[in-house]
Amino acid sequence: MSDTMNKKYLIIILLIPLIMSAVYGHGVDVTADTMVIADETNGQLAKDIADSNGMNISVYKFTSQADVEHILEHAVNNTNKRILMIAYQDSGNEFLKKHSEVSDRVIVVDDVNNDTIEDGLNKIMNAPTQNEESQSSFAVPLFIGLIIGILVGAPIGVLLMKRKK
């Protein structure tokens, strides 16, 4: 092969990743869909109140505002995510100002005591969520990945096969 052909193939191979659209890599949410955001001062109290009322809810004790903001972002895309905030209320209120569409699934308790926690737990357990059937399944991202893999892999395979001849 000529030197100019090699350069053309090299340029094509380098341009393929630039042409493909960027993938949004926010991260995988490993927390429960129904959860309480707490801190060291009120986490155990929230868990005790939930257990005494027979509520199956996960209580997460956070130590930084950045972690809380990250978890709140998952509520925008995950319509099954329900969050009760009994800590880091400033972050929760700021988040709700920007994303009012999740106000029925993200509840901020500003005055934290036994009654307000119990009331918040009842509200969050009754908050509406989207059915599992209406969300995209695992197959859709799998097929998209396969198509992208074929579109990228086939030209590279052809290039390598021609190069060996």
| DSSP one-letter string for 91-109 | HHHHHHHH-GGGTTTEEE-
Tokens of 42: 């009120």
Tens digits of pLDDT across the chain (165 residues): 566 777 787 787 777 776 665 544 555 667 888 999 999 999 999 999 999 999 989 999 999 999 999 899 988 888 889 999 999 999 999 999 999 999 999 999 999 999 999 999 999 998 887 754 445 567 778 888 889 988 888 888 888 888 876
What's the rounded Cα separation, in Å, for the pair 29 and 14? 32
Residue 137 has, within 13 A of its CA and on its CB side, a CA count of: 3
State the maximum Cα–Cα separation within the chain, in Å, rounded to a whole number.
79
The CATH classification number of 34-133 equals 3.40.50
